[in-house]
C-alpha cells in the first residue's frame, strides 16, 4: 500500500509531517519509534525546503512475518538526472499491514491541525516520560555501579592489606627460620666443641684445639693466656688491658671504639695492641679463681648477642675441661711417681731367674693398682706375688702400696701363701676404702722342687713343665680381697722340677671385653708352650717380651698389664 504527497511550501511540509505521524500511528508503530521517525522526517523536510523545489513524499507498508514494515521516502520532482539527489528513505517495523488508501490522514482545517499539535505533544510527553524512566534507570545503575566500584576498591584495599600482612608474616617466618637455623647451628657447634674439649685430658692439647674450633667462624685470631700461679696483672705487656680487667673482675670485656651491647659483657676502650679490631676477653673461671683469659679478635662480620652468649658458655666449658685436665695430670704425676717408687727390683736367687713386665693402660687414666713383688722369707724361701686393686688413679695406687707393705710385714713370720692372703683380706676389709683387690702368691721352697701357691679372686697361675706341657693351676681359689665375707684361703702345691717356668699375671693380659678371660688364658698357655727350655733358660727377659707380643698385638688395652715369669734352672741346685 502506497500513499504520496507533494511538498513545496512549509505548510505542505507540516501537513505531510502530520499525515506521516498519523499513518505510523495507524500502522501500530510504537510511540518511541514514531517520534524518532517524525523527528528524522522533519529534519529532512527542513533540508528539502532550504534547497527549494517540489518534493514527493511516499509512504509504503509491506507485510512481513508477524507484522509489517513502514517505509517513508522523500525524493525531488522534476529535476535532471545530473543534479537530482538520491531519495531519502527510512523504514521501521510496525505492528500490522494497513491499507493506507482508506481515510483522510491529512490535516487541512484548524481543528485537525490543533489535534495533530496536541497529539505531537502527547507523544513528546510520553517520550519524555520514557526518557525520565530511562534516566532514572541509568541513575540507578550508575549508583549501583558506583557502589560496586566502591566495593571493588574496598576489596582491593582489603586484598592489599591482606597481601601486606601476609608479606610481613612471611618475612617474620623467614626471619624466625633463619634465627632458628642459626640457633641450631650454634647449639650443634657448642655440643660438638664441648665433646672435643672434654675428650682430652691434656691441657696443652685443649689449648691447641681452641683455635681450630673458633677460627675463622667466630674469631679472626685467639689468644689463650693461662696463669701459672702468678698475678694476672703481671702477666706481661703482650696481653691487652681488657684481658687483665677480665681476669680481675671475672667478667667478660668487649674492647672496641664503640659499645658492643653484648649481654653479660662489659664495654672497654679499644686495645692499644690492635685498635682497629674489636676484642672479646673472657675469663677462664674455676671454682676457686680464674686460671686464664681467652681473647678473641672479632671476625669481619663481628659478633651478635647470641654469638656472645655462646662464646661465654663455650669458654666456661673449656675452663672446666682445662681444670679437669690439670687435675688429672697432677694426680697422674703423683701416682706415676708413687708407682715407680714401688716397683720392685727383683732379687737374685740361686737356681731361679725372675723377669717382670708392667704396662699401664693405654686408654683413660693410665695409673692403676696392679703390682708385682718378690722377696725372701727368713727360712730362705722366695715369695712372688702379683696383685690387682680395683679402679685406677691415685687412690688405687695408694691402696696397692699399702697392700704391698702389709704383705711384706705379714711374711716375716714365715706364713704360707694362703695365710698371707687371708691376712691381706682382713686388712683390706678393715680399711673400708670401697676398693677391693685380687692377688696370687707363689712360694718357692729352698732345697725342694715343690711350689706352694694360693689365689684370691685372681686369674690362675700357668706352669710350663720341663717337657713343654703347660698346666693351669686352677685349684679352688679364695674370693676377692676386702669383700664383706669371712674366708680362710687354702694353700695348694705343685711340683716344679728344674726347667719349669711359672707365669703370674693380671687380668689385663688375658681379658678382653668382647671375649672374656678364658680365651685369653688359652692364648697365654699356647704362647708359653711355643718356647723351648733352652730359650727360657738363657734369655728369660727376651722371652717375657716375646710372650707379651702376641697377647697385646692390638697395642690398645683398657687395663694395666702385669707379668712375672719365674724360671727354675736345670743346671743348678734347686732353690
For residues 484 and 531, membership in a common domain is answered with: yes
- Which residues form the domain of 19? 2-108
Number of domains in the chain: 3
For residues 328 and 347, membership in a common domain is answered with: no
Give the gyration radius of the chain's Cα atoms.
61
* All residues at 6 or more sequence positions from 204 whose CB lies less than 8 Å from its CB, including other chains: none
What is the structure's pLDDT at 250? 86
Query: Last residue of a domain, which of 336, 371, 389?
Result: 336
Percent of the chain clearing pLDDT 90 (strictly above) = 21
Residue with the three cell numbers 557502589: 147
For residues 78 and 10, membership in a common domain is answered with: yes
Q: Tell me the whole-structure pTM to 2 decimals.
A: 0.53
For residues 332 and 386, membership in a common domain is answered with: no
Band of pLDDT at residue 333, cut at 50, 70 and 90: confident
Q: Is residue 155, in this structure, part of any structural domain at all? A: no
For residues 368 and 513, membership in a common domain is answered with: yes
For residues 283 and 429, membership in a common domain is answered with: no
Q: What is the pLDDT of residues 372-402, one digit of tens each?
A: 999 998 888 999 999 998 877 777 878 888 8
Q: What is the pLDDT of residues 273-316, one digit of tens each?
A: 778 788 899 998 887 778 889 999 888 888 888 888 888 898 89
* All residues at 6 or more sequence positions from 218 whose CB lies less than 8 Å from its CB, including other chains: 296, 299, 303, 307, 311
Give yes or no for a contact between 38 and 21, defined as CB atoms under 8 angstroms apart.
yes
For residues 373 and 462, membership in a common domain is answered with: yes
Q: What is the pLDDT of residues 60-108, one digit of tens each?
A: 888 877 778 888 899 888 766 666 677 899 888 887 666 555 555 555 6
CA distance 264 to 285: 15
Higher local confidence (pLDDT), 100 or 265: 265
Band of pLDDT at residue 469, cut at 50, 70 and 90: very high
CA distance 350 to 302: 77
Q: Tell me which of 328-337, 471-480, 550-559 is least confident.
A: 550-559
Give yes or no for a contact between 456 and 450, defined as CB atoms under 8 angstroms apart.
no
Q: Is residue 284, in this structure, part of any structural domain at all? A: yes
Q: Is residue 415, in this structure, part of any structural domain at all? A: yes
For residues 331 and 351, membership in a common domain is answered with: no
Please say if the pLDDT value at position 236 is more than 50. no
Query: Last residue of a domain, which of 74, 108, 142?
Result: 108
Please say if the pLDDT value at position 242 is more than 90. no
Query: Last residue of a domain, which of 82, 108, 134?
Result: 108
For residues 292 and 347, membership in a common domain is answered with: no
Please say if the pLDDT value at position 574 is more than 50. no
What is the structure's pLDDT at 517? 84
For residues 270 and 355, membership in a common domain is answered with: no
What is the structure's pLDDT at 274? 75
Higher local confidence (pLDDT), 70 or 558: 70
Amino acid at each position: 500500500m502506497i500513499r504520496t504527497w507533494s511538498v513545496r511550501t512549509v505548510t505542505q511540509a507540516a501537513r505531510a509531517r502530520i499525515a506521516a505521524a498519523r499513518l505510523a500511528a495507524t500502522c501500530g508503530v510504537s510511540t518511541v519509534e514514531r517520534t524518532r521517525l517524525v523527528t528524522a522526517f522533519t529534519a529532512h523536510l527542513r533540508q528539502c525546503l532550504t534547497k527549494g523545489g517540489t518534493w514527493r513524499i511516499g509512504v509504503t507498508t509491506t507485510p512481513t512475518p508477524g507484522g509489517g514494515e513502514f517505509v517513508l521516502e522523500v525524493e525531488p520532482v522534476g529535476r535532471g538526472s545530473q543534479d537530482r539527489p538520491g531519495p531519502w528513505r527510512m523504514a521501521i517495523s510496525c505492528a500490522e499491514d494497513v491499507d493506507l488508501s482508506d481515510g483522510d490522514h491529512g490535516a487541512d482545517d484548524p481543528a485537525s491541525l490543533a489535534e495533530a499539535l496536541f497529539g505531537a505533544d502527547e507523544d513528546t510527553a510520553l517520550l519524555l516520560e520514557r526518557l525520565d524512566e530511562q534516566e532514572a534507570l541509568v541513575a540507578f545503575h550508575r549508583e549501583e555501579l558506583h557502589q560496586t566500584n566502591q566495593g571493588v576498591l574496598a576489596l582491593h584495599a582489603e586484598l592489599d592489606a591482606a597481601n601486606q600482612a601476609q608479606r610481613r608474616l612471611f618475612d617474620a617466618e623467614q626471619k624466625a627460620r633463619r634465627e632458628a637455623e642459626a640457633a641450631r647451628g650454634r647449639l650443634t657447634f657448642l655440643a660438638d666443641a664441648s665433646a672435643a674439649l672434654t675428650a682430652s685430658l691434656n691441657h696443652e692439647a685443649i689449648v691447641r684445639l681452641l683455635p681450630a674450633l673458633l677460627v675463622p667462624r667466630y674469631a679472626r685470631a685467639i689468644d689463650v693466656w693461662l696463669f701459672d700461679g702468678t698475678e694476672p696483672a703481671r702477666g706481661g705487656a703482650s696481653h691487652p688491658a681488657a684481658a687483665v680487667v677480665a681476669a680481675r673482675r671475672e667478667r667478660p670485656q668487649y674492647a672496641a671504639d664503640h659499645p658492643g651491647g653484648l649481654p653479660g659483657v662489659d664495654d672497654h676502650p679499644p686495645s692499644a695492641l690492635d685498635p682497629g679490631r674489636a676484642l672479646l676477653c673472657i675469663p677462664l673461671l674455676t671454682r676457686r679463681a680464674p686460671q686464664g683469659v681467652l681473647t678473641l679478635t672479632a671476625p669481619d662480620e663481628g659478633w651478635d648477642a647470641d654469638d656472645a652468649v655462646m662464646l661465654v658458655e663455650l669458654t666456661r666449658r673449656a675452663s672446666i675441661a682445662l681444670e679437669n685436665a690439670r687435675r688429672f695430670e697432677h694426680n697422674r704425676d703423683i701416682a706415676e711417681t708413687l708407682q715407680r717408687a714401688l716397683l720392685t727390683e727383683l732379687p737374685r736367687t740361686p737356681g731361679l731367674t725372675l723377669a717382670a713386665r708392667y704396662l699401664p693402660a693405654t686408654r683413660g687414666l693410665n695409673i692403676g693398682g696392679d703390682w708385682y713383688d718378690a722377696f725372701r722369707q727368713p727360712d730362705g724361701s722366695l715369695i712372688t706375688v702379683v696383685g690387682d686393686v680395683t679402679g685406677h688413679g691415685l687412690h688405687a695406687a695408694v691402696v696397692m702400696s699399702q697392700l704391698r707393705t702389709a704383705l711384706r710385714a705379714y711374711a716375716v713370720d714365715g706364713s704360707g701363701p694362703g695365710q698371707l692372703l687371708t691376712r691381706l683380706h682382713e686388712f683390706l676389709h678393715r680399711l673400708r676404702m670401697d676398693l677391693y683387690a685380687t692377688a696370687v702368691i707363689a712360694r718357692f721352697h729352698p732345697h725342694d722342687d715343690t711350689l706352694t701357691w694360693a689365689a684370691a679372686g685372681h686369674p690362675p697361675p700357668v706352669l710350663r713343665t720341663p717337657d713343654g706341657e703347660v698346666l693351669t693351676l686352677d685349684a679352688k681359689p679364695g674370693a676377692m680381697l676386702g669383700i664383706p665375707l669371712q674366708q680362710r684361703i687354702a694353700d695348694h702345691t705343685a711340683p716344679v722340677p728344674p726347667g719349669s717356668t711359672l707365669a703370674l699375671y693380671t687380668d689385663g693380659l688375658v681379658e678382653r671385653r668382647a671375649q672374656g678371660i678364658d680365651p685369653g688364658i688359652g692364648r697365654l698357655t699356647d704362647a708359653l708352650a711355643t718356647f723351648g727350655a733352652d730359650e727360657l733358660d738363657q734369655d728369660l727377659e727376651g722371652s717375657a717380651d716375646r710372650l707379651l707380643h702376641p697377647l697385646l698385638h692390638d697395642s690398645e688395652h683398657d687395663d694395666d698389664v702385669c707379668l712375672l715369669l719365674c724360671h727354675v734352672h736345670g743346671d743348678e741346685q734347686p732353690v
